[in-house]
Structure 1
Amino acid sequence: MTDEMRTGSEWEGEGRRPSDYPGSGESPFARSGFRPVDESVSQDHDHGRGGNGEDASEAASHQEGDRGPVDHGEERREPDREEGGPYAAGRSAPGFGDVPSSGEAVSRPVTVMPMYGPTPPPPTRALGLGPDWAPPPVPGSGGGVGAGGNRRVPRLSTLVVLGMVIALVASVVSSVGTYLLTRPDDSGTDPSYSLETAPLNRVERAPDSVAGVAARVLPSVVSLDVQGARAAGTGSGFLIKGGYIVTNNHVVAAAVQGGEIRIQYNNRKTSIGRIVGRDPGSDLAVVKPDDDYGMPQIPLGNSDEVQVGDPVIAIGSPLGLSGTVTTGIVSSLNRPVIAGGESGAMDTSYINAIQTDAAINPGNSGGPLVNSAGQVIGVNSAIATLSESMTDQGGSIGLGFAIPVNHVRRVVEEIINTGSAKTSRIGIRIDVTYTGEGVRIASEAEQGLSPVEEGGPADKAGLKPGDIILEVDGTAVQNSQELIVLIRSKAPGDRIQVRFQRGGQELTTTVEVAASSVPVPQPS
């Protein structure tokens, strides 16, 4: 049997493929004589071939190829596949040159596609041509044909599972990365740590609160920097009516002999000041600044209305720290305090003081002690310390003393009016050797001075040498210092009740306080 007459099965049985065909390399199955199983011609198997073995239609196509495609489509008859027919069950289907077993010509309708034109679709029942043969892929479908000739498409469930796996892996990787970046180390640091932002709510302070009082009083408080020829120091003060500044005598004493006083206000502006007058006996002084920059004055209160336990506020410049505010209460009243004395009797101050536990330190001297209404009730002047040396003064131990403002008011008025202040006195000398109850008037003259000044306030009230003074205005006196403090706290012209003892009998008299033009801090 020639190659043209071999069937596909016979080719495959011999292990040959179309590429094995000798000659030009053209596969015999590419020739027009090889037709799909469902195609046939209306003539015998050998009809339609030319002398050179080509199909008649193909030859015609070649002849008319330069005129364009020739439509060879014509309707053919196809016998039914009836039982017993040429294509009955059990008989092999024609193809690859085979003819029906009956030798009859097969007449089937067939559509012959043009030789030149669009590629025809694949036959619906093409026989396999070997392990390396397959129907052409559907146009636009891409490659990938499975073993059964169908394109492999992943199932929806597979895609869902794959997406979940990818998402899970990404989440795990992200979590691990975040942990590695933000995990705290052994040093206790945490890069992600933060605190909440500051609240924006505004807190309202009551006018009588410490903050409210301080806000009103601070603009009136000043700091003093004093430079003298042989000494220097710092202190505090406060503005009163007329632009005057009240302070302590011991704060400005260094500038008396050609020194300078520089005043700094709460707004940081400065001015030079000069001493108007001072009273060493009460440790008070008045300074007039060149410019007060319009700073407000501070109101003065009434120290006679102060009671133990009242809240107080101390404001000043301790250790040069201007604008310092401390709080406390009134610890005691009429506390006799003697301060100074380093330079002699003229520098000794006798103060009937207000005691407070508000912190008062060096530099607070001259600053105001105010009540809850923001009124001055005293001038901070002295503190008690555990150190016995005045040059090595310690800090506050809760024992501070202020000059009562009623005494300050009188002394300041006298200084502004006359340049000096009168010292209150009653004209007696005290027996410093007496140790009993009360204070005893000296019995004998000393250095030509009588124990009771002739014509003085005590003499006019009937007091005599040797009398023992027990009380002044109802306040018991225990030593000479207390008596001096009580007398100094009175204004000249004040009348005081004195209870005294003479020959074992207690008597009472009224003494009008007099004044000394020269402040001599001696018993009087």
Structure 2
Amino acid sequence: MNNYSSGWDPDQPQPAATGPTPPGNPPAPTWYGSDPTGPQPITPPHGIRFGDQPSWPSNPAAAPGGGPATLTAPPGSRSPRRRLLELAMVGAVSAMLASGCTFAATQDRVAATNTLGTTTGQLPSTTARPVVQADGSAPDWVAVAKTVSPSVVAITISSGSRAVGQGSGVIVDAEGRIITNNHVVTAGSTRSGLSLTVTLDDKRTFDADIVGTDPATDLAVIKLKNAPNDLVPIALGNADELRVGEPVMAVGNPLGLAGTVTTGIVSALNRPVVTESDPSSSLDGARGERVVTNAVQTSAAINPGNSGGALVNASGQLVGINSAIASTQGSSGNIGIGFAIPVNEARSVSEQLIASGKARHAYLGVAPTTVVVQDGASKRAAVGIGRVYPDTPAANAGLRVDDAVIAVDAEAVDTADSLIAQIRERRVNQNVTLTIVRDGKRQEVKVSLAERPTS
């Protein structure tokens, strides 16, 4: 195992290189947030400050106009203090994990069948059938909601008799396993004695145990105790088949309003979104880290409490796990920019958590930077290699310092985080093709990814 002593881990971005920025880029954004569902402020790595848990309205539906109630800090608690985190592109907005409250987040640019479950980690076949749309241009969302809602649950996290967080989850097998977000089930807390209560669509409630958590991807799997025999597992789709502009529906438990459905479109694909994991969110005491997701961006309304819920296509197939939202500074509600973890990544991680309680992650072994390179007759944004660590996949493949990566398996990358997101969604031992620019000329480099070191 390598000992990286350069000041950052492999595949973590270096400080931005000096020099020209891509032409036409707007000013660097600022991103901020607060601790997911944790009632006490904490200071995670990198100096980002997390805030208090907002109070949950006792009757959310009583908000003006029937809309979501305003989230406020609990009486007597400290107001959230937010420190700004500067990044490389787009305008100033705030990204938040869509759980019971906000979370520090940054964003640097701002048909698989269901086989989840069993002790082997493979999710078993489900009897759920996709919704057949009579008119592809006008989805029957009533039919989709009827099909999907029984597969989406509300999750309440309690410490003793006090609820400390809320979120959503998706049933993926008949034995009662549920995919959700890590920040939902840990509630950003180091306290012992947390308990999970799951409420089904028909309002039955069950206690649940944690099967496994993965702070690196913000995913978790829980399992119902004494699961009933009439659960309805969701049908899994394929995020690789998504297209920008495609209609989607978000289903979850925003602000405690279980069974809420909202619709929109796929706004963007392969959107690198970065959230900051804090040490207290890891049940095994692992250090906090940057969670980089190659996210599905959607315009479907996602609000606090939607974390861990379903993003489905017009056929009622799961295409993403809702996890984060963006909002303007000073606002905590939906503005039509939500992010979901692609179902392919969620499936891969969940199967590992079911099999062993932990997930393995691929890595490349470089310190990436965002640069501008000469690519033939044109200049373009790219991912510069600031350092190649020895005895890593990158070193073994012959990557060099000052190489510039412009694509991974023909999918364009133009920032350090976009490269990290592409690598992290792939499996250990998977072979990838990097398109690089070296000395002004393009070439392809084959790399066999290895398991990311833990130290």
Normalization by structure 1: what TM-score? 0.54
Q: Which residue of 2 aligns with 1:440?
A: 384
1:313–1:328 Cα contact (<8 Å) kept: yes
Normalization by structure 2: what TM-score? 0.62
Does structure 1 residue 291 correspond to structure 2 residue 222?
no
Does structure 1 residue 350 correspond to structure 2 residue 253?
no
1:226–1:252 Cα contact (<8 Å) kept: yes
Does structure 1 residue 418 correspond to structure 2 residue 356?
yes
CA distance in 1, matches of 2:390, 2:288: 24
Q: What are the residue-to-residue correspondences of 1:358-373 with 2, within 5 Å? A: 358-373=300-315
CA distance in 2, matches of 1:416, 1:247: 13
2:276–2:288 Cα contact (<8 Å) kept: no
The alpha-carbon deviation at position 468 of structure 1 amounts to: 1.9
1:421–1:517 Cα contact (<8 Å) kept: no
Superposition RMSD in Å: 2.4
Q: What are the residue-to-residue correspondences of 1:88-487 with 2, within 5 Å? A: 209-228=140-159, 232-241=164-173, 242-254=175-187, 257-293=192-228, 294-341=230-277, 343=279, 346-387=288-329, 394-431=332-369, 437-442=381-386, 451-487=387-423
Alpha-carbon displacement from aligned partner over 1:321-373 (angstroms, at most 9, x marks no partner)? 00001111111111111123455972532110111110000001100111111
1:422–1:517 Cα contact (<8 Å) kept: no
The alpha-carbon deviation at position 435 of structure 1 amounts to: 6.4
Structure 1 stretch 468-477 or stretch 410-419: which is displaced more? 468-477
Amino acid at match of 2:382: G
The alpha-carbon deviation at position 213 of structure 1 amounts to: 1.2
CA distance in 2, matches of 1:341, 1:412: 18
1:248–1:381 Cα contact (<8 Å) kept: yes
CA distance in 2, matches of 1:507, 1:490: 21
CA distance in 1, matches of 2:269, 2:401: 31
Larger Rg belongs to = 1
Amino acid at match of 1:365: S
CA distance in 2, matches of 1:266, 1:299: 16
Aligned length: 302
The alpha-carbon deviation at position 288 of structure 1 amounts to: 1.0
CA distance in 2, matches of 1:403, 1:492: 19
1:236–1:367 Cα contact (<8 Å) kept: yes
Which secondary structure does the structure 1 equivalent of 2:308 belong to? coil
1:354–1:378 Cα contact (<8 Å) kept: yes
Which secondary structure does the structure 1 equivalent of 2:305 belong to? coil
CA distance in 2, matches of 1:247, 1:482: 24
2:275–2:290 Cα contact (<8 Å) kept: yes
Q: What are the residue-to-residue correspondences of 1:45-84 with 2, within 5 Å? A: none
Alpha-carbon displacement from aligned partner over 1:209-260 (angstroms, at most 9, x marks no partner)? 1111111111111100112489921000011123201001110113664311
Which secondary structure does the structure 1 equivalent of 2:206 belong to? strand
Amino acid at match of 1:438: A
CA distance in 2, matches of 1:361, 1:277: 25
Which secondary structure does the structure 1 equivalent of 2:249 belong to? strand
Name the one with the larger helix percent.
1
